[in-house]
Chains A and B, each alone.
Chain A
């Protein structure tokens, strides 16, 4: 059962309380409570407060009201960063999940060598977020890179995929699609949960392969698809390393790989404009929360729960 199912269940059943457990629970959870205060929820609240200040770490924070938030509305580089990030998220996540589902369907149902294939397809998701792979991508999609070598072999003239503002983002999208292995494994686990008898019954009724997929696999897999969608969207919003390395930290060429996170990094940790960076952080939280909320709302119309 996934974390999302857990959240769904939470609204339902009551849990009985054993008063004698409270003391033990406090001690077992003491590190976690401290973490909540100092590392997670505490900073979320603090960044809200810092968002109303001008602060460069050296002088004490100075209250400036809504200036940082007003700046969000008028900052055209930020608006470009939003456009880049939305494009990245909305293009790469569906492509990645389509690949994950497609390969999972191919691998399903006792194919020989399943374990081997599964590992081979999964490996890129472990490597994908590393600096090393970003370095590789810089070469592969460079003017003298591997892609252009291969294209040249077929007589197609390539270009500097990463140095061209029109294609730089696409190379990062390809990189995200490349890491489809981890949602693929979740799909595989979900596919295994679908009882074989459904397919047998459908086959007896003469259902075509396509209609079996549409009427059995897809509805029964929809909670898993939903789960993957929510997580991969949140994950894609946080992409940073690849854009940073490929563009040498600039988000270039001409801001075409300027992810929201990269812009936030530049404001906070290159220019030490901590107040604005905090406002940006809060804005990011709102965006991610809004996307997740829309996802949950839309789920009512397409996600099918068997229980």
Chain B
């Protein structure tokens, strides 16, 4: 049994070590963003002599408009996507989970299939469509698809959740004369807040991080979101100013980190039940 007693501390040691190595680059980036620029190449450690914030002020104002604009743009975009996903996906999910309509298996199969459809396959004609109606350099090409329930992953997540709710509740409401809109709004929706929370947090993180579609649709600096601005900043600076690049990278990751702290319970549950993306 001695091996067993040794096994657990060894396991902990191993796990801590793996975790440390994995997170070290990120921690080092945070530390380096608070150092004078020339020191970044010399210090592979984490200990700081003092907090130097000039990287942040320099990075913040490096592009016109300043980084505040990009944060605001990303925030508007994220908010639009969250609202779009919550409304449209919950409606579609109610239909798939509770209604027995003609061809349901078909449509449900198509919905599941679209979860696996790469965006790159549809981006060209989508761009042609949106540029013809003058939506390039607006947030519409990024938000409208969410209002149209195209994030099928969330539809599926909510279908799973609604299936777990007792059907007796709907039946009772139906006997009392409730139609589907009322059953959905007054019974199902209040009960599915955990699924809505998961959707909110995932939409927040994925939209905040998403680069490909934002790069394509947002080409005017005034409309840049954080990832697009960060990339353009990196492209425009010479390799020596890592300090301000790191500082703005940290700024761009901070909201994700906060969302993770607030919502990790929902994130873990969401992935565990539906299998993530």
List residues of chain A with CB under 8 Å of any chain B CB.
1-4, 6-7, 10, 15-19, 21-22, 24-26, 28-29, 31-32, 34-36, 38-44, 46-47, 50, 55, 57, 103, 106-107, 111-113, 117-124, 126-127, 129-133, 135-136, 138-140, 142, 144, 146, 149-150, 153, 178, 182-183, 185-186, 188-189, 227-228, 230-231, 234-235, 237-238, 240-241, 244-245, 248-249, 261, 264-265, 268-269, 274, 277-278, 281-282, 284-285, 288, 292
CB distance from A128 to the nearest CB of B (A): 9
Q: Point out the residue from B99, B110, B148, B156 that lies within 8 Å of A24, measured CB to CB.
A: B99
Query: A15-B104, A130-B252 are known contacts. Are A24 and B212 too (CB-CB below 8 A)?
Result: no
Known interface pairs A1-B160, A21-B100, A35-B150; 19 further A-B residue pairs with C-beta atoms within 8 A, sorted by A's residue number:
A17-B102, A18-B100, A29-B107, A31-B88, A34-B148, A44-B117, A47-B122, A126-B267, A130-B252, A132-B250, A132-B252, A136-B246, A238-B118, A244-B231, A265-B212, A269-B216, A274-B124, A277-B124, A281-B121
A-B CB contact pairs (8 Å), 10 listed: A21-B99, A24-B180, A57-B131, A120-B19, A130-B211, A132-B253, A241-B212, A244-B215, A264-B120, A288-B118
Nearest to A245 among chain B residues (CB) is: B231
Is the pair B23, A44 in contact by a Cβ cutoff of 8 Å? Answer: no
In the bound complex, do residue A126 and residue B256 qualify as a contact, i.e. CB atoms below 8 Å apart? yes
Asked whether B105 lies within 8 Å of A10 as measured between CB atoms, the reply is: yes
- Interfacial chain B residues near A123, Cβ < 8 Å: 23, 257, 260
Instruction: Indicate if the CB atoms of A146 and B25 lie closer than 8 Å.
Output: yes
Complex Cα gap A150–B41 (Å) = 11
* A127 touching B253, Cβ below 8 Å: yes
Expressed in whole angstroms, the minimum distance between the Cβ of A29 and any Cβ of chain B is: 5
- Once A28-B94, A281-B122, A292-B116 are accepted as A-B contacts, the answer to whether A35 and B272 lie under 8 Å apart by CB is no
Q: Is the CB of A281 within 8 A of B120?
A: yes
**Are the CB atoms of B22 and A50 closer together than 8 Å?**
no
A144 touches B41 (CB 8 A): yes
The answer to whether B245 touches A241 (Cβ under 8 A) is: no
Question: What is the bound-complex CA distance between A31 and B95, given in angstroms?
Answer: 12
Q: Are B128 and A50 in contact (CB under 8 A)?
A: yes
Evaluate contact between B28 and A146: CB separation under 8 angstroms: yes
CA distance A207 to B207 in the complex (A): 48
Chain B residues within an 8 Å CB radius of A3: 112, 115, 156, 274-275
User: Bound state CA distance, A142 and B256, in angstroms?
Assistant: 26
Which residues of the other chain, B, contact A281 by a CB distance below 8 angstroms? 120-124
Complex interface bits, B74-109 against A, C-beta within 8 A gives 1, otherwise 0: 000000000000011001101100011110110111
Measured CA separation A123–B272 after assembly (Å): 15
Q: Are A188 and B18 in contact, with the CB atoms below 8 A?
A: no
Asked if residues B277 and A131 are in contact (CB atoms below 8 Å), the reply is no
B15 within 8 A of partner (CB): yes
Report the minimum CB–CB distance from B185 to chain A (whole Å).
11
Within the complex, what minimum Cβ distance (angstroms) separates A93 from chain B?
A: 14
Instruction: Confirm or deny: B48 has a beta carbon within 8 angstroms of a beta carbon on chain A.
Output: no
Question: Given A2-B274, A32-B92, A44-B121, are A245 and B100 neighbors across the interface (CB < 8 Å)?
Answer: no
B125 proximal to A (CB < 8 A): yes
> Does B262 touch A at the CB level, under 8 Å?
no
